[in-house]
Structure 1
Amino acid sequence: MTVPERRTSREELERQILGATPDMTAAEVAEGAGVSTDAIRRLWRALGFAEVDQDVIFTPHDVAAVGDVFSTVDSGAIGFDTAVALIRALGQTMSKLADWEVATLLDRVEELAKAADGSRMDSAAEVLSKVNPAFEQLLVYAWRRHLAAAVGRMEALGEAEEDLHATHVSVGFADIVSFTALSNTLDQDGIGNLVEVFEARCYDVVSNLGGRVIKSIGDAVLFVSDRAQTAIEIGEGIIRVIGRDPRLPDVRVGIASGSVVTRMGDVFGPPVNMAARLTAVARRNRIIIDQATADLLPSIFITRRLPARPVRGFGIVEPLAVSRR
Structure 2
Amino acid sequence: MSRSDADRADLRDTLASLILGHELTLTSSEVTEKGGMDHSRGLRLWRALGFPETGDGLAYGEPDVKALVAVATALDGEMLDEATVLRMTRGLGATMARLADWQVSALIDQIEHDVEDGKSVTRLHAAAELARSAAPGFEYLMIYAWRRHLAAAVARVEALGAADAELLSTTMTVGFADLSRFTSLSNGLDDNSLGDLVENFETRCADIITAHGGRVIKTLGDAVLFVTEDPRQGTRTALDLVRQIASRTELPNVCVGLATGSVINRLGDVYGPPVNLAARLSHVARSNRVLVDAATAEALGDEFDTRTLPPRPLRGFGNLSPITVSERRGFRSR
Q: How does 1:234-249 map to 2 (within 5 A)?
A: 234-249=237-252
Instruction: Out of 236-245 and 263-272, give the one that drifted further.
Output: 236-245
Q: Distance in 1 between matches of 2:13 and 2:242?
A: 47
The CA deviation string for residues 98-141 of structure 1, in whole angstroms up to 9 with x for no partner, is 11111111111111223146121111000121111011111111
Task: Look up the match of 1:58.
Answer: 60
Q: How does 1:160-309 map to 2 (within 5 A)?
A: 161-309=164-312
Task: Look up the match of 2:100.
Answer: 98
Contact 2:239 2:326 in 1 (8 A): no
Aligned to 2:41, the other structure's residue is in SS state: helix
The one-letter amino acid paired with 1:190 is S
The one-letter amino acid paired with 2:269 is D
Q: Distance in 2 between matches of 1:120 and 1:23?
A: 27
Residue 187 of structure 1: CA displacement? 0.8
2:35 to 23, 33, 36: 33
2:283 paired with 1:311 = no
Q: Normalising to structure 1: TM-score of the pair?
A: 0.96
Residue 160 of structure 1: CA displacement? 6.9
The CA deviation string for residues 162-207 of structure 1, in whole angstroms up to 9 with x for no partner, is 2112110000000110001001111111100000000000000011
Q: How does 1:5-16 map to 2 (within 5 A)?
A: 6-7=7-8, 9-16=11-18
Residue 159 of structure 1: CA displacement? 5.6
Contact 2:15 2:131 in 1 (8 A): no
Aligned to 2:259, the other structure's residue is in SS state: strand
Q: Distance in 2 between matches of 1:126 and 1:37?
A: 37
Contact 2:36 2:72 in 1 (8 A): no
Residue 16 of structure 1: CA displacement? 1.2
Q: Distance in 2 between matches of 1:216 and 1:158?
A: 30
Q: Distance in 2 between matches of 1:59 and 1:298?
A: 60
The one-letter amino acid paired with 2:114 is L
Q: Distance in 2 between matches of 1:225 and 1:233?
A: 10
The CA deviation string for residues 8-31 of structure 1, in whole angstroms up to 9 with x for no partner, is 532221111111121211100111
Q: State the identity %.
A: 46
The CA deviation string for residues 297-316 of structure 1, in whole angstroms up to 9 with x for no partner, is 11211210101001100001
Q: Distance in 2 between matches of 1:223 and 1:174?
A: 8
Q: Distance in 2 between matches of 1:271 and 1:205?
A: 21
Aligned residue pairs total 323
2:105 paired with 1:72 = no
The one-letter amino acid paired with 1:133 is P
Q: Distance in 1 between matches of 2:191 and 2:297?
A: 40
Task: Look up the match of 1:120.
Answer: 123
Q: CA RMSD in A?
A: 1.6
The one-letter amino acid paired with 1:82 is T
Q: Distance in 2 between matches of 1:35 and 1:162?
A: 36
Structure 1 gaps of 5+ residues are none
**Counterparts in 2 of 1:36 and 1:15: CA distance versus 1, 3 Å:** same
The CA deviation string for residues 137-166 of structure 1, in whole angstroms up to 9 with x for no partner, is 111110110011001100111267321121
Structure 2 gaps of 5+ residues are 329-334
The CA deviation string for residues 266-309 of structure 1, in whole angstroms up to 9 with x for no partner, is 00000000000000100100000000111111121121010100
1:45 to 44, 47, 55: 47
Q: Distance in 1 between matches of 2:166 and 2:208?
A: 30
Aligned to 1:58, the other structure's residue is in SS state: coil
Task: Look up the match of 2:140.
Answer: 137
Q: Distance in 2 between matches of 1:234 and 1:122?
A: 44
Q: Distance in 2 between matches of 1:140 and 1:288?
A: 38
The one-letter amino acid paired with 1:129 is R
Aligned to 1:77, the other structure's residue is in SS state: coil
Task: Look up the match of 2:88.
Answer: 86
Instruction: Out of 93-102 and 150-159, give the one that drifted further.
Output: 150-159
Q: Distance in 1 between matches of 2:120 and 2:292?
A: 56
